[in-house]
Amino acid sequence: MIKTAIIPVAGHGTRLLTLTKDNPKEMVPIFSKSFNEITLKPLIEHIFLQLFDAGIRNFYFIVGKKKRSIEDHFTPERDYQNYLKKGDRNYYDLLEDFYKKIEKSNIIWINQNSPRGFGAAILNAKGIVGTEPFLVHAGDAYVRGNSKHLQKLMKEYDSNKSDIIFYLKNVKNPKSYGVASISKKISKVYHVNNVEEKPQNPKSQNAIMPIYIFDQKIFNALSKTKQDIGKELQLTDAIQKMIKTKHKVHAIKFPKTDDCIDIGTPENYFHAISISYKDSKKLKSREKK
């Protein structure tokens, strides 16, 4: 079972300015259902809880400047929790559950001086994450529901002996995404023939969602990959390098476009909070019956 995850959270979040001038976009709130009430959680907490429930125990956060609030959020604050204990016990229990999971986890913070692309963020973890396969989950990708999508990714990675596996979803305009060309379905996964980062003329509508599993070979590919025209090291380019050298690169599709939402734009963030509110409200209604 995969036990390790790398979570890049070092980006500037410029498309969400001015909210993200002093606040990480990964800390923006989404709706959740807790103790049969609708509550708010930072997106990064939602991601952490999904990863934890999928069996991840080693968390490597790639952080940059102005990300201190993320570290603070993952530092148990018992005095505040004890204050809550005097009032509504539900909020005390909510924090207690979160803190217990933090204490059962190995959390490492890896500093990145400046964002130089998604690939560069992952390369920072080379030599630190051990020798086993690991999961990569972007800190700004909201996935609905529980951890089933992560469990499925792990299962198919093992079953198909993949070198790389990741999620896709169909989008109308994929120019702002990494895009994959795929061929016939093998068992429950697609074989990936080609990937491109934000192409002007996309070859498909299969947008790459930033949830992957890699083995250690990705670090070698990243080390040999050149920066793009914007002087950034793209993970997509390293994956393409591995495709060319005949490595087994597979993909799974999200059934619905709403299943995974990149919250990096105001429109997408509004969509994510709208969806999360509706989902939380449905869960609350079910528990009342």
Q: Do the beta carbons of residue 206 and residue 180 sit within 8 Å?
A: yes
4-288 falls under which CATH superfamily?
Answer: Spore Coat Polysaccharide Biosynthesis Protein SpsA; Chain A (3.90.550.10)
Residue type, 197: E
Could you give the C-alpha distances from 1 to 45, 127, 155, 167, 189, in angstroms and in order? 22, 20, 9, 18, 19
Phi, psi dihedrals of residue 258, rounded to the nearest 5°: -80, -5
Q: What is the pLDDT of residue 285?
A: 60
CA-based R_g, the chain, Å: 19
Q: Please state the rounded mean pLDDT for residues 108-128.
A: 90
Q: Please state the rounded mean pLDDT for residues 169-194.
A: 91
Average pLDDT, the chain: 91
Q: Do the beta carbons of residue 46 and residue 32 sit within 8 Å?
A: yes
Beta strands in the chain (DSSP E): 4-8, 29-34, 37-42, 58-63, 106-111, 134-137, 141-143, 164-170, 178-186, 189-197, 206-214, 249-253, 260-262
Q: Do the beta carbons of residue 55 and residue 153 sit within 8 Å?
A: no
Q: Please state the rounded mean pLDDT for residues 78-82.
A: 85
Across the strands, what pairs with 262? 141
Residue with the larger pLDDT of the pair 87 and 165: 165
Helices marked H in the chain: 43-53, 68-73, 78-85, 89-103, 118-123, 148-159, 217-223, 235-244, 266-288
End-to-end alpha carbon distance in the chain: 37
Residue with the larger pLDDT of the pair 108 and 80: 108
Measure the CA–CA gap between 238 and 228, rounded to whole angstroms: 11
Tell me: the pLDDT tens digits for 193-248? 999 999 999 999 999 999 999 999 999 999 999 988 888 999 999 999 999 999 99
Q: How many CB atoms lie within 10 A of CB 79?
A: 6
Measure the CA–CA gap between 143 and 140, rounded to whole angstroms: 10
Predicted confidence band at 287 (pLDDT cuts at 50, 70, 90)? low
Whether 46 shows a pLDDT value over 90: the answer reads: yes
pTM: 0.93
Across the strands, what pairs with 207? 169, 179
Q: Do the beta carbons of residue 129 and residue 80 sit within 8 Å?
A: no
